[in-house]
Structure 1
Amino acid sequence: MKRVYKILLSFVTLMFFVTACGNKSLYSMKTDLSNERGLEKLVASIDWGPYKFEGVKIKDKALEIKLSGKAKANQDEAFKTSFINGVVLLVLTDAEEVKYSEEDLYFGFIDKDLANEILKIKYGKEVDDYKKSQEDFDNLVESLKNEKFETGAAKYEMMD
């Protein structure tokens, strides 16, 4: 009987550990541009979807993210991933702009002004508002993941 309890306890501990690691929010990795190691860790922790993260450089108040690989997903999914990750980086750092470099990108950069405009229209808050609360940040990321993104000749559309 003790053996069954030990196995059960081990299983419960393992499930707790796996669940706790799976629910980790990027918000806890919030950093500023002066912390290069923390910044590298943050950017590497983000899911880049169809691209492979190669590196990050800091130039003034801009993050330059080097990605590689051709987008295996469709254009809309690649655009969506790049947009969401740009917003995440603007919220979690003190960057004013996020630029991407790769030959086959569908989305090249996002700055704080553009992100503020979109977020203000859609959600009524700006980038700096999401810096104050992990709950608001997590809700924003979840909402953005559920949005519909369409690319094309200057076309950007989010579902109502």
Structure 2
Amino acid sequence: MSANSQPRSASAESKARLRLWLRLLKSTRGVEAELRERLRQEFGSTLPRFDVMAALSRFDAGLKMSALSGVLRVSNGNVTGIVDRLADDGIVVRVQVPGDRRATLVRLTRKGQEEFARQAAAHELWIDELLGDFDGDEATDLAARFDAMAHREEDR
């Protein structure tokens, strides 16, 4: 933009999309706050712990810490403390990677799998309740539209 030019005024569509984003953000924060509170009350746990268990539940062989951080899209430092506490509680175990003394895999223990199954079942019920204003078709359509948007962003 040159020094003499003025920013274009936003179109009605642009303003509508901005309002949509702000409402999505507000709704997401509200759902996340409710999930955090329910995990704390019902399981004495946190959303980050749940997220780590959820990620590990998809990989029976476990994940290296760097891969786990990548799946969660957070730094290694953020994950290390959570994994340390989960290991102390017997939820995860660290396993040495054969042939690489510096690398370890993290995987759920049997206790961790059982605990995650309990929490995941409750989580699904909570989400169903919190998003109950959307029928199945609406939820499927919105999920597909958000997936398409995410894939567009990944392709940029």
TM over 0.5: no
Using the size of structure 1 for normalisation, the TM-score is: 0.28
Larger Rg belongs to: 2
